[in-house]
Structure 1
Amino acid sequence: MISTAQKHKKFELTPPQILVLGFAAIILLGTILLTLPFSSADGLPTPVLDALFTATSAACVTGLVVVDTGLHWSLFGKIVIIIMIQVGGLGFMTMSTLFAFVLKKRISLKERLILQEAMNQGSMEGIVRLIRKVLVYSLTIELAGAILFAIRWSFDLGVARGIGYGFFHAISFFNNAGFDLFGAVSGPFTGLTSYADDALVNVVSMALIVLGGLGFVVLSDLLEFKQKRRLSLHSKVVLSASGLLIVLGAIVIFAFEYSNTRTLGPLGWDGKVLASFFQSVSPRTAGANSVDMAGLRQASQLFIIILMFIGASPGSTGGGVKTTTFTVLVGAMIAMIRGKEDIVLFRSRLGKDRILKAITLTMLALFLVMIVTMLLSTTEDHSFLMILFEVTSAFGTVGLSMGLTPDLSTFGKVMIALTMFAGRLGPLTLAYALGPKAEKELYRYPEGKITIG
């Protein structure tokens, strides 16, 4: 006989399952709100699939859109989108913890486990303290960015509109969402192309994107560096990998696009450098663009696909397989070539479990991107590179687009929405949520050998 307690435990949701259902609930609520007539600028109900796609993109902080954000949505619709971006970027558990702090409610063990899963932490130790820091850092950085944007755009758009645009884009860029309102200023789906050589807009945007993409553990380490006088291994890896990818990306894009009349060609020297760095930073899951993605040379588009697949860092507002995963894989390759047994980073040896997790995550991500790309190649009448670009952008929760998303078929919209959902939660979290509960192995098989390579 199975006791009542055993039955209850059997059907108890795991932290990964709660995260999946929580994000699904946020998307459902956002879809309902965005279908309402007063959510659109023309006062007509938005088709359910378009509202679902937009809600998924906002909650998963992606930025891919089937309708122009600045033109299609009313003030109410834009407020719904930016709230979903904030909740989706910081995580619904982080936001619920904020309300618990306000109400002086105790954080239960179950909630701490979910927060640990949501923040991708190895243990529960200090998790509530980390969440407090996340909230303070996020709101402070977003406010600083909003003020700087508002000052700049007040000259072009007027004070009221400049302030509104400042807050919207500060929240969107810090959360690596990529939603922008400039379709209402410079034309549908134009992004920040009219500010490609504007130093203030570029620098503030890149700062918000990078700070949001580093991860809150790294931000905490940096702010406490004066007291501790040291950085954790995680922070060293993230900062090194992020810096290298940004500089390398800017150099590659500058070299490939220098003479391209559709992108960097018409810009002056300063504009070329700014735009190169912006296009290198943005694929790290931010999704904003200051040049036309469709106008890039194919070499640049393929390189940006690689950057989007790598993505941001763990515990951040960004997606992708993460910089640490990429670093572990590169480290494994170097160790194998050099005939070493261990992967050593900054004089620290990595455990085998970290290596296996990096390989598993990368393979799951590759399978997801390739399968969705193959499916869309049969339903969408566009080039393979264009489809791969869009799918990778969805998986990495980036939001950069070569113009395919508005033309997607019904099946295409559903597949891209599902890819955004899987990319935001992470393939491993989704696999844990959908798969059977792991049980401890009672025995091990004898070791066998196969030939590799």
Structure 2
Amino acid sequence: MVLILLGGLALMLPCMTREAISLSDALFTSTSAVTVTGLAVIDTELTLTFWGQLVLVLLIQLGGLGLMTFAVLVLSALGLPLGITHHTYLREDLNQTSYVRLMKLVKTIFRVVLMAEIAGAMLLCLVFIPSTGLGPGLWHAVFHSVSAFNNAGFSTFSSGLTGYATDPVVNSVIPLLFIIGGIGYVVISDVFRQRFWHSWSLHTRLMLVGTVALVVIGVGLTAILEWNNPRTLGAYDSATSRMTIAWFQGVTTRTAGFNTTDIGGLHDSTSLLYMALMVIGGGPTSTAGGVKVTTVVVMLLATLAFFRRRTEIWAFGRSVGLDEVLKVMALIAIAAMLLFTAMFLMTATHDGHFLDISFEVASAFSNTGLTRSYTTELNELGRGVIMLVMFLGRVGPLTLGFFLATRIPPRVRYPEGQVHLG
């Protein structure tokens, strides 16, 4: 919250914008950047100066990397020791149980971020420098590399990446960056340390299988549903061009938020598909948002176990504990209530199409940033709701639940009663 306020105040400075913006515009932009969402009420290219865009990309980097991880990197660079309390907070933030593994993971995060963003910027220079010149092209490359790896979806082009819809470099580098950033640092660390499938943890295997399945579903259904839509894929004659756009748009809905086609021109069925993909999101301990892939996979495994009358949930030769299943139930319940409440408030205070409003809320909660051109239609109350949803989506429904809940050890055990369900 402090970072959002500081970012908003910084964007209010005269040197940050080409024209004066309101405090509401500045705070909304700062919230969207820190939560790596990408929804925008101002034009990043036309409204922000180079310094404004620099502040924006710094907010994206801090928000995507995680403030706790960034604090550890700074303290380590200064040679300052971490206390037990800070170790504990960071351990919870990165889902680690060992202090040794924790520090190894932090170093892995730093290396992955540095290598991925530098390599991405260098490759994107091959496209942006020839089309916009050396200086601007270099900045466009750096900005998009940071934005892509952090799954932010902000672009320094007013029309997004629609001008590069069929460019092979953009359609390879940008998706690769946000897939690596969104798969989770734990998975990346596991894959690099143990290069064999059977040596990987259950979390890594579930994440990889779930990610591949969602990519195939997203890309395949995008191609099927939008193939002849004249406002999206149907605008291109070549089958290769249509599949290229289907590929990019099918994977970017996993909380990246870039667009190479008109999102407002999608069929309603495709928009509904994208809402589901956005809410699922990416992996834990990553730059992505959503309820996370592993959450959905565990929910499906629990459902399958119920129908097969099994009392134990397992996958790939490993079982999933009851605590994890209860966590999944709580996370999905909180997310559903939050989404419903936000949609209700938005529809009650706005006259827009229900699908546009629902899409906006789902995009904000999952920190994706895709919009059916509705963000600029929000009134002040609507902006407040979307900012709160972006914030809670980034902080996480479970964090909200732990914050509100009080842990009281049970003193009494009650006899089991029967409840009729379904």
The alignment's TM-score, normalised by the length of structure 2, stands at: 0.97
Taking a change above 3 Å as real, the CA distance of residues 86 and 346 of structure 1, as seen in their structure-2 partners, is same
List runs of 5+ in structure 1 lacking aligned partners. 1-23, 184-189
Moved more, 288-297 or 110-119: 110-119
Could you tell me which residue of structure 2 aligns to residue 223 of structure 1? Answer: 192
Could you tell me which residue of structure 1 aligns to residue 302 of structure 2? Answer: 332
Moved more, 412-421 or 132-141: 132-141
**Residue in structure 2 matching 1:256, options 225, 230, 235:** 225
Matched, 1:379 2:349: yes
In 1: Cα distance, 2:240 partner to 2:196 partner: 38
Matched, 1:66 2:35: no
Is contact 1:112–1:128 with CA below 8 Å preserved after alignment? no
The total of aligned residue pairs comes to: 421
Post-superposition offset of 1:286? 0.6
Matched, 1:401 2:371: yes
Could you tell me which residue of structure 1 aligns to residue 2 of structure 2? Answer: 25
Post-superposition offset of 1:191? 1.1
Could you tell me which residue of structure 1 aligns to residue 30 of structure 2? Answer: 55
Matched, 1:419 2:389: yes
Could you tell me which residue of structure 2 aligns to residue 21 of structure 1? Answer: none
Matched, 1:36 2:5: no
Could you tell me which residue of structure 2 aligns to residue 201 of structure 1? Answer: 170
Post-superposition offset of 1:261? 0.5
Q: Give deviations 1:26-51, integer Å, cap 9, x for gaps.
A: 00110110111111023x3x211110
Moved more, 236-245 or 89-98: 89-98
Post-superposition offset of 1:116? 1.9
Q: Give deviations 1:285-340, integer Å, cap 9, x for gaps.
A: 11101111100000000000000010011010011000000001111111122222
Is contact 1:209–1:281 with CA below 8 Å preserved after alignment? no
Is contact 1:311–1:323 with CA below 8 Å preserved after alignment? yes
In 1: Cα distance, 2:249 partner to 2:195 partner: 32
Moved more, 192-201 or 116-125: 116-125
Matched, 1:291 2:291: no
- Aligned-pair identity in percent equals 38
Q: How does 1:287-326 map to 2 (within 5 A)?
A: 287-326=257-296
In 1: Cα distance, 2:99 partner to 2:410 partner: 25
Post-superposition offset of 1:124? 4.5
In 2: Cα distance, 1:122 partner to 1:403 partner: 43
Could you tell me which residue of structure 2 aligns to residue 80 of structure 1? Answer: 55
Moved more, 410-419 or 96-105: 96-105
Is contact 2:197–2:205 with CA below 8 Å preserved after alignment? no
Moved more, 438-447 or 421-430: 438-447
Post-superposition offset of 1:367? 0.6
In 2: Cα distance, 1:212 partner to 1:279 partner: 17
Could you tell me which residue of structure 1 aligns to residue 133 of structure 2? Answer: 158
Letter in 2 for 1:135: F
Letter in 2 for 1:212: G
Letter in 2 for 1:215: G
Post-superposition offset of 1:269? 1.4
Post-superposition offset of 1:347? 1.5
Letter in 2 for 1:199: P
Could you tell me which residue of structure 2 aligns to residue 14 of structure 1? Answer: none
Per the alignment, in what secondary structure is the counterpart of residue 82 of structure 1? Answer: helix
Post-superposition offset of 1:230? 1.7
Letter in 2 for 1:157: T
Is contact 1:247–1:277 with CA below 8 Å preserved after alignment? no
In 2: Cα distance, 1:289 partner to 1:255 partner: 18
Letter in 2 for 1:280: G
Matched, 1:145 2:100: no
In 1: Cα distance, 2:96 partner to 2:391 partner: 20
**Residue in structure 2 matching 1:128, options 78, 103, 108:** 103
Moved more, 339-348 or 423-432: 339-348
Is contact 2:364–2:386 with CA below 8 Å preserved after alignment? yes
Taking a change above 3 Å as real, the CA distance of residues 412 and 215 of structure 1, as seen in their structure-2 partners, is same
In 1: Cα distance, 2:229 partner to 2:182 partner: 29
Q: Give deviations 1:239-293, integer Å, cap 9, x for gaps.
A: 0000100011111010000000100012221121121121121111111011111
Is contact 1:198–1:271 with CA below 8 Å preserved after alignment? no
In 1: Cα distance, 2:96 partner to 2:331 partner: 16
Post-superposition offset of 1:224? 1.7
Per the alignment, in what secondary structure is the counterpart of residue 58 of structure 1? Answer: helix
Alignment RMSD, CA only? 1.4
In 1: Cα distance, 2:406 partner to 2:34 partner: 27
Could you tell me which residue of structure 1 aligns to residue 180 of structure 2? Answer: 211
Post-superposition offset of 1:436? 4.7
Q: Give deviations 1:147-202, integer Å, cap 9, x for gaps.
A: 0011211110111111101110000010000000111xxxxxx2111111111101
Could you tell me which residue of structure 1 aligns to residue 407 of structure 2? Answer: 438
Could you tell me which residue of structure 2 aligns to residue 274 of structure 1? Answer: 244
Per the alignment, in what secondary structure is the counterpart of residue 186 of structure 2? Answer: helix
In 2: Cα distance, 1:123 partner to 1:293 partner: 44
Could you tell me which residue of structure 2 aligns to residue 7 of structure 1? Answer: none
Per the alignment, in what secondary structure is the counterpart of residue 41 of structure 2? Answer: coil
Letter in 1 for 2:40: V
In 2: Cα distance, 1:151 partner to 1:199 partner: 11
Per the alignment, in what secondary structure is the counterpart of residue 40 of structure 2? Answer: coil
Taking a change above 3 Å as real, the CA distance of residues 452 and 127 of structure 1, as seen in their structure-2 partners, is same
The alignment's TM-score, normalised by the length of structure 1, stands at: 0.91
In 2: Cα distance, 1:118 partner to 1:175 partner: 17
**Residue in structure 2 matching 1:361, options 331, 346, 365:** 331
Could you tell me which residue of structure 1 aligns to residue 359 of structure 2? Answer: 389
List runs of 5+ in structure 2 lacking aligned partners. none
Per the alignment, in what secondary structure is the counterpart of residue 349 of structure 1? Answer: strand
Letter in 1 for 2:277: L
Is contact 1:121–1:315 with CA below 8 Å preserved after alignment? no
Matched, 1:236 2:211: no
In 1: Cα distance, 2:197 partner to 2:183 partner: 19
